[in-house]
Structure 1
């Protein structure tokens, strides 16, 4: 079966393209078959792993057919919005920390408390882990692994350039100088040291946390226009010095691996989530390294916190809540499934699965586990759930504003004013 990076189906008869997991198998079905729809975004590697786990589940669960779809970043949210409007949300769908609060408050997610612990056997995760996917006192999803923000870098490029590899104590001032040196070392048109990361909400959040603030606070924005102006000015100064990729490169980024400037070969550094290192390494020929985001000052707060890398939620419109919960339980607790999934969606939350997969992890996967462990004494408290409207703030306010900024259509001061004004109109608290 061909897997397309943009769209991938795992399905039953009637799907436009795909594979019926139960087709051709000798497994007897129940009198009444249950069909579950699953939807997620991610790389081809993630699609293959998910497909293999779904096939394994079907082989062990007669009478259940899974129909799944993998989409690109922006296409995923458009499809989810369409499903919500039509009251036909996928039975199992993927969210992440920045979106679970928003979508659960919009009524997209089914509360899962009734399935714990009889169906969802997640007690071994620990109470704190379940808090990561709890909104307003209700459990709206199950975390698929732990991760945090990260900075990736092309180690071979650094070695050829004769520059030291970045370390966790790198400051933002030092990063700016390093990025310019990397651009010079590249010596070619269209290549730069790193991304124009003003448009990454999670990097902005870490930067704010290093200064005692945050992206959101109490259901509203947690920063001022002065903070935003300083943030925008930093990236504009760096862009003009040649330390960031050009605006036309950065605007391609849809917060997916294959659209990131590092994966596109346009930069030596990329900023993303730690579990994505596996997907990046599959695309990038040279060995990549991983470290924390730069910080305000040496010895100061990292701005990092542990987060559920990705989350399975159950659609509020499902007619098969119990069956959907059983599939999620299998996904996070079955050892065979865990060996297929590895740490591509983060370090498993189940201690038993984590222990079982450690011996089989390749060097890249081991690096992501080491990174999560490295952060143990540097992470801050997990933030309160993002307010309603946070997804729109990221996608329709921050990113477009940063694109205007990079194309020099607006000044940092004016962009900061607009970010606050448009942000207040978008965030619903």
Structure 2
């Protein structure tokens, strides 16, 4: 089996080989599609491209796959006037690319070309930046806590559930790490560096990571409490060491659970498939801990990923037609499955439900099960959030883990740097 790291090592070389039917002839219309992800994602994405070609004779989709250098490659292509017609984005970077003027506004295509009549209510808001639609959400997912079911069976401990508070969870992690009693293995990675975990923590407090006006939605006290929680957990042996956590590149294969250093991970629901592929034991998933029993879950549906259309796209309408096909075609939905997350078209979702394997069904059932405790869609991530992800969240958390700063200093630094970046 081709491992993800081997696939990434090939980077765009595989992308060049992924052109579906060789060089486009003069009689064809070619369109470049650029994305990142695992070999399984490549296979599923190219399968949809073939279906689109079959439905649109004379069209050739040239698939290109990026690896760890995806963002630098995309930025270089955009700056050099060599942008792919359609490219994949993540919520944390979406507004940055829209704000650069690199993406084509799609409002004129929403409805006439990109159909929305069978989509989840209001879901297209997840493709808007400052009221303008710059792309489409490819799926929805939600925060989740993944865990090794066998580890809990062997230790006799009970996995977290809806009533597990953050205090309960800390005690459980410390107890789990002791029960495992294996050098270099802890209950969980240090999630102080994950902005998405912080966001759930904040929503439980009635706040948000970002406000509607594009500024941070929390204060120094919130940030200090968050860092203090994980600092205490680390000091008491409940989460991985600083050295192990520093190796996590915020990807599935580098997470401490995947590298054998932890038995739990805070992630997204659609990532279950990827995590399970790297685990020999069945992986369960449940909700995140809560501030208090019966209080807000901190959960909400968010875009798994997005597609944007380059402002320089040679055939914008054709690109919009591909986005419509990707989202609304039943056969395309079956080819994609849940690898990127839950389909936003309700008819596609129903059709896909009967095709899922056992692992995918766990992810599907989880999304369905949290409908009663999920809140509103989040405000759009603002311009500058990508820089915060790259330069701030992880750097501060790692300094804290290595004992270079205190939780209070970490909280003050996060707020100061976030304000400076978002207000610039």
CA distance in 1, matches of 2:291, 2:96: 30
Residue by residue over 1:75-95, the C-alpha shift from the partner in whole angstroms, topping out at 9 and shown as x without a partner, is: 222222223332333211112
> 1:276 maps to what in 2?
271
> 1:206 maps to what in 2?
200
CA distance in 1, matches of 2:175, 2:46: 43
Once the 2 structures are TM-superposed, how far is the Cα of residue 9 of structure 1 from its aligned partner? Answer: 6.6
CA distance in 2, matches of 1:273, 1:126: 19
> Secondary structure of 1:423's partner?
helix
Once the 2 structures are TM-superposed, how far is the Cα of residue 168 of structure 1 from its aligned partner? Answer: 1.8
CA distance in 2, matches of 1:87, 1:241: 52
> Secondary structure of 2:146's partner?
strand
Runs of 5+ consecutive residues of structure 1 not aligned to the other structure: none
- Of 249-258 and 284-293, more deviation after overlay is shown by 249-258
Q: How does 1:10-409 map to 2 (within 5 A)?
A: 17-23=16-22, 31-72=26-67, 74-217=68-211, 218-409=213-404
CA distance in 2, matches of 1:395, 1:159: 37
> 1:5 maps to what in 2?
7
Q: Aligned-pair RMSD on alpha carbons? A: 2.2
Asked if 2 retains the 8 angstrom alpha-carbon contact of 1:390 and 1:427, the reply is yes
> Secondary structure of 1:221's partner?
coil
Once the 2 structures are TM-superposed, how far is the Cα of residue 183 of structure 1 from its aligned partner? Answer: 1.2
Q: 1:300 to 1:92 in 2, by over 3 A?
A: same
CA distance in 2, matches of 1:329, 1:8: 30
Asked if 2 retains the 8 angstrom alpha-carbon contact of 1:169 and 1:295, the reply is yes
Once the 2 structures are TM-superposed, how far is the Cα of residue 68 of structure 1 from its aligned partner? Answer: 2.5
> Secondary structure of 2:340's partner?
coil
Residue by residue over 1:190-230, the C-alpha shift from the partner in whole angstroms, topping out at 9 and shown as x without a partner, is: 11100100000011011011112221122211111121111
> Secondary structure of 2:394's partner?
helix
> Secondary structure of 1:424's partner?
helix
> Secondary structure of 2:291's partner?
coil
CA distance in 1, matches of 2:64, 2:258: 23
Alignment TM-score, normalising by the size of structure 2: 0.93
Once the 2 structures are TM-superposed, how far is the Cα of residue 30 of structure 1 from its aligned partner? Answer: 7.7
CA distance in 1, matches of 2:176, 2:74: 40
Once the 2 structures are TM-superposed, how far is the Cα of residue 119 of structure 1 from its aligned partner? Answer: 2.2
- Of 268-277 and 320-329, more deviation after overlay is shown by 320-329
Q: 1:160 to 1:135 in 2, by over 3 A?
A: same
Asked if 1 retains the 8 angstrom alpha-carbon contact of 2:20 and 2:63, the reply is no
> Secondary structure of 1:5's partner?
helix
Residue by residue over 1:103-140, the C-alpha shift from the partner in whole angstroms, topping out at 9 and shown as x without a partner, is: 21222321112222232123211451112212222211
Once the 2 structures are TM-superposed, how far is the Cα of residue 371 of structure 1 from its aligned partner? Answer: 1.1
Asked if 1 retains the 8 angstrom alpha-carbon contact of 2:16 and 2:63, the reply is no
Asked if 2 retains the 8 angstrom alpha-carbon contact of 1:41 and 1:76, the reply is yes
Alignment TM-score, normalising by the size of structure 1: 0.92
> Secondary structure of 1:268's partner?
strand
